[in-house]
Chain A
Amino acid sequence: MSQGTAIQDRKPSAGGVNATFLWIEIKRMLRNRRTIMFTVLMPAIFFFIFGLSNKNQQLPNGHSYGQYILISLTVYAAMTAATGAGSQVAVERAQGWSRQLRLTPLLPGAYIAVKAAAALTLSLVAVIAQFVIGALAGVTMDAQTWLTAGLVAWVGSLVFAALGLFVGYLMPSQNVMQILGPALAILAMLGGLFMPIEIMGDTFGAIAKFTPAYGIGQLARSPITGEFDALWIVNVLVWLAIFVGGAAMAFRRDTNRV
């Protein structure tokens, strides 16, 4: 090790995103059995329960219920994956890792960016896994539909990565997913991911339109329903803004306190 490091002044590091950091983050997530259970196994089981038996039923517009439920559960898988990945900051805070990182040049923005990128990686895994399961179970769609639905589910999961970060910075819990898991299931149900909104009744149908999973679900199913409403995009953007704003606020509160 070099001598006299003390008197050698240095240039400050940029503290930006780097590949090693991102790669280790992704490895950590894929090694976590619980994460894989939430993101791959549970949505797959839901598909077999809700989807397979009704696979060949028809929606009013002639599309198959199998397609409808596969895309919906793919959105659910992606949102669970992204939320779970984002909420890992709670664990890292509890383990003092966030504090340790403050002793390195890493900028908070770069940390958040890596977390978001890792969350998107995991949600991509979730989308692909769900589509493979659906295809193996006999759901067929044209290439355009697979691609569009997959992209919407994947990119839309960013909203939930922000939710995960928000809750992760808000709660000290090591088991933040035990709270978020059921909460996400309720949001998915209200957003029409487990059953079509049309059969939910007027009250719940009206509430559904204001919940965070609704817009992404409607947009992802758009290729098979043939419908489009700009309000769905508004729903996605508003919830993104709420969760990002909440995460930023909780993050600031957290770093001030430490």
Chain B
Amino acid sequence: MTTPGVPAVRAAGLHKNFGKVQAVRGLDLTVEQGEVVAFLGPNGAGKTTTIDMILGLSAPDAGEVSIFGHAPRGAIARGQVAAVMQTGGLLRDISVRETVQLTAAMFDSARPVDEVLTRAGILDIADRRVEKCSGGQQQRLRFAMALVSDPGLLILDEPTTGMDVAGRRDFWSAIRDDASRGRTVIFATHYLEEADAYADRIVLVRQGKVVADGTAAQIKNLASGRTVRASLPADDRVLLAGLPAADQVEFDGGRVTVRSADSDSVVRFLLTNTGAHDLEVVANNLEEAFVALTADEAGPATAPTAMEGDRI
């Protein structure tokens, strides 16, 4: 039985609260087969919580997940999805080879152990105890374990955290080789350059929601405009109805924030038609947008809420 056209992942309306903290609030995500998707966002954006729900490790408070048309547990039982987690998930007192053997034993059909070790680049340390492996080697071992069932979908949760630059590059080259064979890959990261370099598509998450979704180029275009901020008398707010070229307008106290691809027109309008003063014009780029995103706890004034809801 084949299921062409079924999305690798379909998540709809995911919500998850931990006590009063809303970790994920209304997240929708569809990933088609063969895509390499970066799930980009600052720490605490809800990436890991979302991944846990996609994998069925935790149950969403609301919303639904399917993997290749199956519930998460069904997809896992079929060996269709595997994950490389950030930390843990390894027994320290067994060897690298035993770890892969043990993982392979759980599945009805598994790739040969040596093949998987070779693909992950750890055949030479196969007999080493896991506790003696470096962080990078342990991460490659997690990758090897994920390859065992030859899954159609591979999910990686911040896989290069704690690796040095060379280790990170090697790891990604192994992943990229793998993805080039048609595997669907979703990886969570808070490294912008990783998302830019290795993903076909970037899904930007903030505060438990998707705030932007597109290719790296599209995200850059989205962020290539400028942000205009000004102090504006409250009475003048109504005048902004005639504001040209504004993508998004936000008020915070006496300040107004306007995002626009044509900031010159916005500034001209503000100075000519309103009592705006103390103007600031700031250029955006992906890096800045992302930095602003990660700094989002600092206060509402710095939040790049302009990107909210943008779907390219």
Contacts and interface: CB of A to CB of B under 8 A. Distances in A.
A12 interface: yes
A15 B90 CA distance: 19
Query: What is the size category of the interface that chain A forms with chain B?
Result: 35 or more
A99 interface: yes
Interface in B62-107: 68-69, 74, 76-83, 85, 87-94, 98, 101-107
Nearest to B55: A103
Interface stretch (A89-97, A197-205, A236-244): A89-97
Given A6-B183, A7-B152, A21-B106, A1 B88 contact: no
A12 B150 contact: no
Given A7-B33, A8-B152, A9-B68, A1 B181 contact: yes
A11 to B, nearest CB: 7
A100 to B, nearest CB: 4
A10 B79 contact: yes
B77 A5 contact: no
Contact of A21 (B4, B89, B105): B105
B186 interface: no
A21 B150 contact: no
A21 B75 CA distance: 22
A19 B105 CA distance: 8
A13 interface: yes
Given A1-B119, A102-B57, A6 B101 contact: no
Interface in B108-146: 108, 111, 115, 119, 145
Interface in A1-56: 1-15, 18-21, 24, 27-28, 31-32
> Which bracket fits the contact residues of B?
35 or more
Contacts of B74: 12
B106 A28 contact: no
B77 A96 contact: no
A7 B106 contact: no
A13 B148 CA distance: 14
A105 interface: yes
B106 A96 contact: no
B78 A258 contact: no
Contacts of A5: 80, 150-152, 182-183
Contacts of B3: 7, 9
Q: Which of B83, B92, B145, B152 has the most C-beta atoms of chain A within 10 angstroms of its own C-beta?
A: B152
A7 B266 CA distance: 50
Contact of A24 (B102, B147, B150, B152): B102
Interface in A139-196: none
A61 interface: no
Contacts of A95: 88-92
Given A7-B3, A7-B152, A20-B101, A15 B94 contact: no
A2 to B, nearest CB: 6
Nearest to A25: B102
B33 A6 contact: yes
A1 B89 contact: no
A32 B129 CA distance: 13
Contacts of A1: 111, 115, 119, 147, 150, 181
A95 B142 CA distance: 13
Interface string B37-74: 00000000000000000011110000000001100001
A32 B92 CA distance: 12
B256 interface: no
A106 interface: yes
Contact of A3 (B69, B82, B119, B182): B182
Given A31-B93, A95-B91, A99-B57, A6 B34 contact: yes
B107 A13 contact: yes
A105 B102 contact: no
A14 B74 CA distance: 11
Interface in B230-267: none
Nearest to A18: B105
A11 B89 contact: no
Given A15-B77, A102-B57, A6 B68 contact: yes
B1 interface: yes
Given A7-B3, A20-B105, A96-B87, A13 B93 contact: no
Contacts of A21: 102, 105-106
B2 interface: yes
B14 interface: no
A1 B152 CA distance: 11
A87 to B, nearest CB: 15
Nearest to B115: A1
B102 A92 contact: no
Given A6-B34, A97-B89, A105 B108 contact: yes
Interface in B185-226: none
The 9 closest A-B pairs by CB, nearest first: A96-B88, A6-B152, A12-B77, A100-B89, A20-B105, A104-B106, A10-B78, A13-B108, A105-B77
18 contacts: A1-B147, A5-B150, A5-B152, A5-B183, A7-B3, A8-B2, A12-B74, A20-B102, A24-B101, A27-B94, A96-B87, A97-B90, A100-B85, A100-B90, A102-B57, A104-B76, A104-B106, A105-B106
